[in-house]
Amino acid sequence: MRLGKKVEAGAEFIQTQICFNVPVMRLFMARAGDLGLLDGVPILGGVFVLRSAKAARYLREQVPGIDVPDAVIDRMGSVPPERQPEEGVQIALEIVEALREIPGIRGVHLMSIRNQEAIVRVAREAGLLPRPGATASVR
């Protein structure tokens, strides 16, 4: 409903909330497609590059609207703290790849906190650089 209102109001593109739960994003996009909301506006999936299990728990507990599944927190916590930033990069790469397969997702919005070098790394390793032209797709 909220997406429909934004499209109706003239949004030129949509950035989703951070996505850690790809099945929920698939469902959301399918419903948006069923309602005809994917035709007129590009949708960018939000991808956050985690640095630690602590950061994942913080996002889940303190930031309204962010769904961080137990599996993500458990995965981050299963590696030693010094390897958690690397695991965060791998998770982000997997999410970018999964989002590419969802009809209607036209790009990604990479985010992190005090971890800009990881954003550049994810962009490179996901094949997002060089940046596509304004009319190109990230597929």
31-71 per-position pLDDT tens digit: 999 999 888 799 999 999 999 999 999 999 999 999 999 99
C-alpha dihedral, 110 to 38 to 95 to 119, nearest 10°: -10
Q: Is the pLDDT of residue 4 over 70?
A: yes
Q: Is the pLDDT of residue 135 over 80?
A: no
Q: What are phi and psi of 14, to 5 degrees?
A: -125, 135
At residue 99 the predicted structure's pLDDT band, cuts being 50, 70 and 90, is very high
pTM given for the model:
0.91
Q: Is the pLDDT of residue 139 over 70?
A: no
- What end-to-end distance do the CA atoms of the chain give, in Å? 27
Give every CB contact of residue 113 below 8 A, 6+ residues apart in sequence.
51, 55
Give every CB contact of residue 137 below 8 A, 6+ residues apart in sequence.
106, 107
CB-facing half-sphere around the CA of 23: CA atoms within 13 A: 3
